[in-house]
A and B are shown apart, each in its own frame.
Chain A
Amino acid sequence: DAGVIQSPRHEVTEMGQEVTLRCKPISGHDYLFWYRQTMMRGLELLIYFNNNVPIDDSGMPEDRFSAKMPNASFSTLKIQPSEPRDSAVYFCASSFRLPHRTDTQYFGPGTRLTVL
């Protein structure tokens, strides 16, 4: 398996522009997580899905952030409009809870977002 795939790996955009980050979880995994990592705030959970359904989006910082999971193999995190303080590394992770209840989360390589 190729592991969790994220695109793009790097994104540089200007303030006010829309940004879309993409994630393909490991095949067969039923949980998908979006994290944001900065030096100041560490690793923050933004939202996670179970079987394509959002379970907890309390970590989404503002209405400018939205996430979707239209099917088991694809998720997007969208920021509209983007602001300089959104600059961070965004990680996607997936896990497979049943039947082994492994709980192990596998992280993608991340998307480094820079908003100018």
Chain B
Amino acid sequence: GENVEQHPSTLSVQEGDSAVIKCTYSDSASNYFPWYKQELGKRPQLIIDIRSNVGEKKDQRIAVTLNKTAKHFSLHITETQPEDSAVYFCAAKSGGSQGNLIFGKGTKLSVKP
């Protein structure tokens, strides 16, 4: 089955710097890759996603890139702000039309003012 590895597990950056979180997946049939942000004590919320027919997607300060050949995808946050501090989870959808999401272990991002 699908396996998703996420790195780093913790990331500390200075406000205004960029942050990059990387994930690799094992199932070449996976076709949907969302990123979720979870603030302390709250639910995971989707911030951006990408499908396998697209190499890059951007939404304001957030972008996701996908390399299907290498089976890895990354989240890029530019001009980080303290409110970006949270745990970020990547996921990959496998198993065909009825498949489910396999989540990475999460990255705790701390943005220092």
Contacts and interface: CB of A to CB of B under 8 A. Distances in A.
B46 A42 contact: no
A55 B89 CA distance: 23
Interface of A is mostly: strand
Contacts of A107: 36, 43-45
Contact of A42 (B45, B49, B106): B106
Contacts of A97: 97
Contacts of B49: 103-104
Contacts of B104: 42
Nearest to B44: A107
B10 interface: no
Interface string B76-113: 00000000000001000101011011111110000000
Interface stretch (A17-25, A43-51, A77-85): A43-51
A109 B103 contact: no
A16 to B, nearest CB: 28
Nearest to A47: B100
Contacts of A109: 42-43
Interface of A: 33, 42-43, 45, 48, 50, 55-56, 91, 97, 103-110
27 contacts: A33-B100, A42-B103, A42-B104, A42-B105, A45-B100, A45-B101, A48-B100, A50-B98, A55-B100, A56-B95, A56-B100, A91-B43, A91-B44, A97-B97, A103-B101, A104-B34, A104-B46, A105-B34, A105-B46, A105-B101, A106-B46, A107-B36, A107-B43, A107-B45, A108-B43, A109-B43, A110-B43
